[in-house]
Amino acid sequence: MASVDVKTAAGKSAGKADLDDTIFGIEPNIPVMHQVVTAQLAARRAGTHSTKTRAERSGGGAKPWRQKGTGRARQGSIRSPQWRGGGIAHGPKPRDYSQKTPKKMIKLALRSALSDRAADGKVVVVDTFNFDAPKTSAAVKAIADLGLANEGRVLLVLDGNDNNTALSFRNIKNVHVLPSGELNAYDVLVSDTVVFTQGALPVADAPKAKKVKAAKPAAAPVQDAPAEQSADDEAAAAASGSEEE
């Protein structure tokens, strides 16, 4: 299991943290990452674009001139697509761009993206920032102390309860703040460095125990009646038949 240095907000060493190999140590699956990111960007599209066809344009009910004898090209309506102010042929209409992506594929894309950043040494772990109140200047100083001021885009992954830190970093250019529950492949891939607080560092889920079906109870075997009893029954039946006659 790989490990990474844990730093304080001042950039000093505060021990080491283990990176789970199932999350930070797999072979990146590039086709899966591409498909998941494409679906994520497609889901962002509003899909509210709309154009009017010739049927939706007002006017154009009368034929502009007679069919023959004018020397002009024949026309049926001034709202045809070739006319100024006419309808749009094959124009966009409102639609939903979202794509269905399997959950396993989304998780694999995230693990592949994190493994790619970890392989390049672009994963940083900070123990905590401990901001008593939101303060952007303190956040800027922390970025500089961590040596990330000139490292391009930084993705900062925080605990859900670390509100002061989120408010301190959100106005800094090239720093994107994200709660750990919203970590995704696109934001990891679009960032140059990923910074985790120690409490937000992802850990692999424990494997689920397989449910064992209880065996059905075996049916009780049908016991044959004793031979003596069957013989007595036949004799009684014969006797009752002779009495009826």
**Residues 122-155: tens digit of each pLDDT:** 999 999 898 889 999 999 999 999 999 888 999 9
**Helix, strand, coil shares, percent, the chain, to 5:** 35, 15, 55
The reply to whether 130 falls in a domain is yes
- How confident is residue 206, by pLDDT bands cut at 50, 70 and 90? low
Query: What average pLDDT score do residues 189-196 get?
Result: 96
Quick check: 156 pLDDT over 90? Answer: yes
What is the per-residue pLDDT for 1?
A: 74
The reply to whether 160 falls in a domain is yes
More confident residue, 244 or 104: 104
Say which range, 59-73, 164-178, 220-234, has the weakest mean pLDDT: 220-234
The reply to whether 222 falls in a domain is no
The reply to whether 69 falls in a domain is no
Query: Looking at residue 113, what DSSP letter applies?
Result: H
Tokens 């250019």, residue?
Answer: 173
CATH for 128: 3.40.1370.10
Give pTM, 2 decimals: 0.76
Quick check: 162 pLDDT over 60? Answer: yes
Contact between 32 and 103 (Cβ < 8 Å): no
Q: What's the domain range around 118? A: 2-45+96-200
Quick check: 205 pLDDT over 80? Answer: no
The reply to whether 226 falls in a domain is no
CA distances from 190 to 3, 103, 113, 224 (A): 24, 21, 10, 78
What is the per-residue pLDDT for 40?
A: 96
Query: What average pLDDT score do residues 171-185 get?
Result: 93
Give the neighbor-by-neighbor strand order of the sheet with 154-158.
Answer: 13-19, 2-7, 123-126, 193-197, 154-158, 175-179
Phi, psi of 244 (to 5 degrees): -65, -35
The reply to whether 25 falls in a domain is yes
Quick check: 225 pLDDT over 60? Answer: no
Quick check: 245 pLDDT over 60? Answer: no
Of all residues in the chain, what percent carry a pLDDT higher than 70?
85
The reply to whether 241 falls in a domain is no
Say which range, 78-82, 206-210, 211-215, has the weakest mean pLDDT: 206-210
Q: Count of domains in the chain? A: 1
The reply to whether 218 falls in a domain is no
Q: CA torsion angle for 114, 115, 117, 123 (degrees, to 10)? A: 70
- How confident is residue 196, by pLDDT bands cut at 50, 70 and 90? very high
Interhelix angle 30-44/103-119, rounded to 10 degrees, is 110
